[in-house]
């Protein structure tokens, strides 16, 4: 990845610092044995907020995964944000996955829409339309591509750092979801999926689908 970012996501720095301070204080005041549970929590928080660089595939027609996780939905669906029929691919992230979100294609952001909502388990299909979520509609050379960050049962914060009019490069970081979530991807119907339900994928490096043509720039 050629854009700058830390190995540990900046979203996690306050949480990591708080856990470290609490663990050290418990160790100094009560001894190592009493501090062990806090050190375990610290290790979990550090691993949750890791944000490793990833290599992009060479194929310019490849649509890369916007998130780490497992494929939980794949098929034709109505894109409620782009108002069109589309190929939907959904990635569920558990608390052990990297939670940084990255653009699946090169494109210009034409719409960013935030919706407050409920917090059903993100593995459930109804989470796509009823949970807290943030939708990005991108105009790519191959048509509209919609990426939706969906909060989950534990997640309580969807973070998005981009706005309409900005250009995103494929694999570029645009947001983060804290503590378990889902990302829905809506592609043009002529995109050909190359994953199946249950497949494990990694943001930026895993290919979810391929476009048939290069489209119009």
d(CA 18, CA 52): 22
Backbone angles phi, psi at 25, to 5 degrees: -65, -40
Helices (H) and strands (E) in the chain, counts: 3, 14
Backbone angles phi, psi at 14, to 5 degrees: -65, -40
Residue of 90, 128, 140, 181 marked active site: 181
Length of the chain: 217
Nearest CA-CA partner of 195 in 12, 54, 58, 62: 62
Task: Write out the two tokens for 72.
Answer: 């939980």
Known catalytic residue at 181 = yes
* Cross-sheet strand order for the sheet of 207-210: 62-64, 207-210, 192-193
Give me the active site residues, please. Answer: 181
């Amino acid at each position: 990845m050629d854009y700058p970012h830390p190995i540990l996501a900046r979203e996690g720095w306050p949480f990591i610092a708080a856990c470290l301070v609490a663990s050290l204080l418990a160790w100094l005041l009560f001894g190592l044995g009493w501090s062990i549970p806090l050190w375990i929590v610290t290790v979990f928080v550090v691993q949750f907020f890791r944000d490793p660089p990833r290599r992009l595939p060479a194929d310019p027609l490849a649509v890369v995964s916007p998130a780490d996780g497992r494929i939980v939905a794949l098929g034709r669906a109505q894109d409620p944000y782009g108002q069109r029929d589309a190929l939907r691919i959904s990635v569920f992230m558990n608390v052990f996955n990297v939670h940084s979100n990255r653009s699946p294609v090169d494109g210009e952001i034409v719409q960013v829409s935030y919706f407050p909502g409920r917090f059903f388990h993100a593995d459930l299909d109804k989470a796509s339309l009823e949970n807290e979520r943030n939708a990005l509609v991108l105009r790519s050379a191959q048509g509209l591509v919609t990426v939706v960050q969906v909060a989950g049962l534990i997640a309580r914060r969807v973070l998005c750092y981009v706005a309409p009019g900005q250009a995103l490069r494929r694999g570029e970081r645009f947001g983060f979801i804290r503590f378990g979530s889902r990302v829905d991807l809506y592609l043009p119907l002529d995109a050909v999926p190359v994953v199946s339900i249950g497949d494990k994928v990694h943001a930026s490096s895993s290919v979810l689908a391929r476009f048939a043509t290069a489209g119009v720039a």
